[in-house]
Amino acid sequence: MKIEQTFSINAPQQEVWDFVKDTSKMAPCIPGCEEIEVIDEKHFKAKIKIKVGPISAKFKLDIEILEENPPSEIISKTRGDEGTRASTISADNIVRLSTKGDGTTEVYCQSESSIVGRLGKYGSGMMKKKADSIWEKMAANIRHAIEGPNSKT
């Protein structure tokens, strides 16, 4: 399942880059994120809670930064499962930042993901809708965190 999201933030590219790279600032912006642990500069562990239809799941995720091109691109891989391995997730992710002519920063996010197990039984339409909802909420949270309470969501 491929998810793409583009949004603008009224802030310089370097400021957005610094925000995205700071796990203590990013974690509260990720819907369902309960914890992010920094292993080293390229490896992280996270606990994410998600609800799809009647099913709630908590995933333990391993995130690896595969490539960085500061301040414009991060390529990462996410893998994880519920403690019971009832559902597993894998995702290849790209985040690109670019400066727009008006001084804002455009954020492009792409994730090619796969969920198997009990959450995977939901059709791709429902899973895509849920993923889109998570990305949209995260974009609004990041925009609000950087721009402040007067940001447009």
Each residue of 93-132: pLDDT tens digit?
A: 999 999 998 989 999 999 999 988 888 776 567 778 888 8
Domain ranges of the chain: 2-147
CA distance 1 to 11: 31
CATH architecture of 2-147: 2-Layer Sandwich (3.30)
pTM over 0.85: yes
DSSP per position, 27-51: GGGSTTEEEEEEEETTEEEEEEEEE
4-40: pLDDT as tens digits: 999 999 999 999 999 999 999 999 999 999 999 999 9
